[in-house]
């Protein structure tokens, strides 16, 4: 399966496309930042079938095509990769931003806001509702700044409203009822840009966040929880949902989260044990990162098998301080504790 990052084509009206249920499902999982190699674990579809669906979505214009090969040879895998049969992605710092650029340039946003404040806002609510229902650009975008949910709902009944307008609303509307209204549209709620602005909106209701993110990957929840540009109330809700999902979620997602954060996520998951399959997956690979080993050593719920596995790693054998940390873990093998003692 060719590895690239499928991105939805925002210029296409998805309602005009004849997508199958399976194609619609895959499209709903594309956030513009997830690589194709991660999609089999996210969708549960085999790579070959998933590739065929992505090709079909490209043909219909629902997603942007993969970049053309540059003619250069593919760079070899980093020397630190320890297994050629590793089904999981290599860890990478969670701080790496996947944010897209603003949907509208600042000057355009200023023009839309000014148009609303000078020409539309002085009208009474009923007049604004009537005009919003039939508006065309630039008034269509200007009405996205209306703070009244009733006007916003009338705007959403306008057949000209698309993803660009939904993103404006998610970014600038400051009433929970209005945010609920845009998320009632499945195409809007599934859009990565809408979700990106929703989590930054201080008025996002906790219940709406749970509904939209309850089926998202654990890694996505962790990124919301760790993003300091997101309001504290939403980050707190993301942390609660992450802990709930981690206790019941797929083992592959748990391993992905632990590896990608080099164990930093475990601070927010204290007291939560892992199942046998997760432990087995973690024990099925070598480790060289001192940070990962330290974070596992500080994880009170670390499985005994994982502690024993880490004690066998060359990185631990070369660094006595790492071995000492692991040997002091309550789940360390008795012989390791005795040796350190």
Residue 100's nearest CA partner among 153, 47, 64, 138 is: 64
Report residue 320 as tokens: 């006595």
Alpha-carbon span 191 to 14, nearest angstrom: 11
pLDDT of 134 above 90: yes
Q: Residue 324: exposed, middle, or buried by beta-carbon count in 10 A (0-12, 13-18, 19+)? A: middle
Q: What are phi and psi of 151, to 5 degrees?
A: -70, -40
Residues 156, 181 contacting (CB under 8 angstroms):
yes
pTM of the model: 0.65
CA distance 120 to 147: 12
Confidence tier at 105 by pLDDT (50, 70, 90): low
Confidence of residue 33 (pLDDT cuts 50, 70, 90): confident
Residue from 70, 66, 92 nearest 7 by CA: 66
Asked whether 163 and 193 are in contact (CB, 8 A), the reply is yes
Whole-angstrom Cα distance, residue 83 to residue 214? 32
Concatenated DSSP letters of 131-150: HHHH--TTHHHHGGG---HH
Q: What is residue 101's predicted lDDT score, i.e. its pLDDT?
A: 46
The one-character DSSP state at 118 is I
pLDDT at 148: 96
pLDDT band at 3 (very low <50, low <70, confident <90, very high): confident
> Looking at residue 317, what is its pLDDT?
93
∠ CA 210-215-221 to the nearest 5 degrees?
A: 65
Q: What angle do CA 225, 231, 235 make, to 5 degrees?
A: 20
- Whether residue 21 is predicted with pLDDT greater than 60 in this model: the reply is yes
Query: Using CB atoms within 10 A of its CB, is residue 326 exposed (0-12), middle (13-18) or buried (19+)?
Result: buried
> Which of these ranges, 22-31, 293-302, 304-313, has the smallest mean pLDDT?
22-31
Phi, psi of 8 (to 5 degrees): -60, 145
Q: Give the chain's radius of gyration (CA, Å).
A: 24
**Whether the predicted pLDDT of 16 surpasses 90:** no
The answer to whether residue 81 scores a pLDDT higher than 50 is no
Q: How confident is the model at residue 213 (pLDDT cuts 50, 70, 90)?
A: very high
Exposed/middle/buried for residue 226 (C-beta within 10 Å: 0-12, 13-18, 19+)? middle
Q: Which residue has the higher pLDDT, 17 or 164?
A: 164
């Amino acid at each position: 399966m060719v590895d690239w990052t499928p991105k939805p084509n925002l210029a296409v009206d998805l309602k005009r496309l004849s997508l199958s249920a399976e194609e619609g499902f895959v499209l709903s999982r594309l956030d513009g930042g997830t690589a194709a190699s991660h999609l089999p674990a996210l969708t549960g579809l085999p790579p070959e079938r998933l590739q065929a669906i992505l090709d079909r979505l490209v043909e219909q214009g629902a997603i942007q095509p993969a970049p053309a090969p540059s003619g250069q040879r593919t760079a070899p895998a980093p020397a630190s990769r320890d297994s050629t049969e590793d089904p999981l992605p290599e860890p990478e710092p969670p701080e790496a931003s996947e944010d897209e650029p603003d949907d509208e340039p600042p000057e355009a946003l200023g023009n839309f806001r000014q148009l609303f404040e000078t020409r539309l806002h002085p009208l009474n609510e009923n007049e604004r509702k009537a005009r919003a229902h039939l508006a065309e650009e630039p008034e269509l975008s200007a009405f996205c700044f209306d703070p009244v949910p009733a006007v916003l709902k009338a705007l959403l009944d306008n057949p000209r409203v698309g993803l660009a307008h939904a993103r404006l609303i998610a970014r600038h509307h400051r009433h929970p009822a209005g945010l609920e209204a845009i998320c009632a549209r499945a195409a809007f709620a599934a859009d990565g840009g809408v979700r990106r602005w929703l989590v930054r909106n201080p008025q996002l209701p906790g219940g709406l966040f749970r509904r939209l993110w309850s089926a998202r990957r654990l890694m996505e929840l962790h990124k919301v929880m760790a993003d300091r540009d997101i309001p504290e109330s939403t980050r707190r809700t993301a942390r609660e949902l992450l802990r709930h999902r981690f206790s019941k979620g797929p083992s592959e997602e748990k391993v992905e989260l632990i590896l990608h954060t080099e164990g930093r996520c475990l601070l927010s998951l204290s007291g939560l044990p892992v199942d046998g399959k997760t432990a087995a997956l973690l024990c099925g690979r070598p480790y060289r990162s001192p940070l990962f080993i330290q974070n596992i050593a500080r994880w009170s719920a670390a499985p005994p098998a994982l502690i024993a596995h880490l004690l066998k790693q060359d990185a631990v054998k070369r660094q006595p301080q790492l071995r000492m940390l692991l040997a002091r873990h309550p789940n360390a093998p008795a012989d390791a504790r005795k040796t350190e003692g």
